[in-house]
Chain A
């Protein structure tokens, strides 16, 4: 009877309604069905996890989740305390908004993990019931464990990495997203003072409030930079690759290696060198003065406009070999018939490049190009190591003339301790990246196939 009702496609509420008494009890006491049917170890494991959860729920999770909310409801209470003297009160309550937020979120994740175990328990009860009514043999605990090397092998492989992701990616990320809706800035630093939920104030601040004067210039420079950095690298990289692939050129491998060496040198080394090299007192200025081209040193990195050009040029030095390397691979695989046919018809080298080689390379490299563009929006290294965002700009809040959104974010967290603003910026960077990634997705079918099937 139950055989026809309970299979994998029946939803859990229905399972409860139609299931036998031991399934119903399994909803209340985890592992009950397993215990009844002599799957002792499995049943006990479920039971123990339930007991642990219940204890933890009362002692840890409830205060944790309450903490998440009190962050919001304690506003007045907190203000009253300011009059009494903050330090004493906080010490007694141990209210550290930041820790409360983290523990609250950790509790939520803990609950989610338990919910998964609970769901496994129900599924297990259903399976046990199903096997029993069909008269099949129930798997022993050992057999269950062995499925981890076969049918459920992915669980074995992914369990530990996923814990890492949960702890070091998802939890911090959710935490930082939450911060965007608080007033956790340099005036509200726990444990000295509390911070609180403020809704969308920070977003308003950035878009139209006192931060707008910094945000929009930084955003537009970020986009200008990303476009120029990507386009120059891409175009000149292909030209370089074509030059090296010129018919009849000797020692192609050697030429390529010369440029590859510069990729291989760690960026923090090459960029710090460049910073020194282009310094007002640095060797490049000295050389130009010596040969009489200049009378005064040029402010390569110390003038806002010069610095922007210098950054793009240095980035070409860093990035062109990358494109060259990839483009070379593509060029060597291009079918040569088309080019030969065009040459016979009298097309010039430039025409061949414009109408045949370049479009084909572009087609193959579009996904990589969009990725590079996103990478450039987030290109922390070049800016941070070369100019550190400078020269300073008195009209910006905590940002210099060449700061990108990412380096501004970095400064907001590390030097200014304005975590709420930093989080908003982070979310906005994410939004920009997401839009362009989506573009990459819809534009190129090959990318789609490779990434998500």
Chain B
């Protein structure tokens, strides 16, 4: 079913909205959640909560792109759930690896700067991504938005894992420079 029709179902408060959403996007959302949590049951729970969140936010929302609207909800719910995990459970997924990679992008603090809020940081990220060649931008999003394992990204782009890692390494360095240039402290 067309996205616009699915959104219309939400606005009409029709229960089919959720069935149609699940039919079209359950795999997409499950994949996002599973990359973060590495746990089928918890991922399933996050996907179901995604539908509930979508139901509660449409109306008043009318998303331009249903896929990423749902994806963002799933990603946030999954990251929140991840926070509740014990150290032992955290070790198994991509999230811990991704977090330690992201640590490298964080600019050093100076005393004059104030830590920025998330929205300003997101805007700086968008400016950074807008100036990247498409391939690098996609690889960045696949790793740091979708938390895809390096191996999967490498396969999709017919690169070796080490090529993928060094590409990500370069992107992280550039991001750090970009954030520093914009005077951003996290």
Task: Decide whether A and B assemble into one complex.
Answer: no
Residues of B within 8 A of A (CB): none
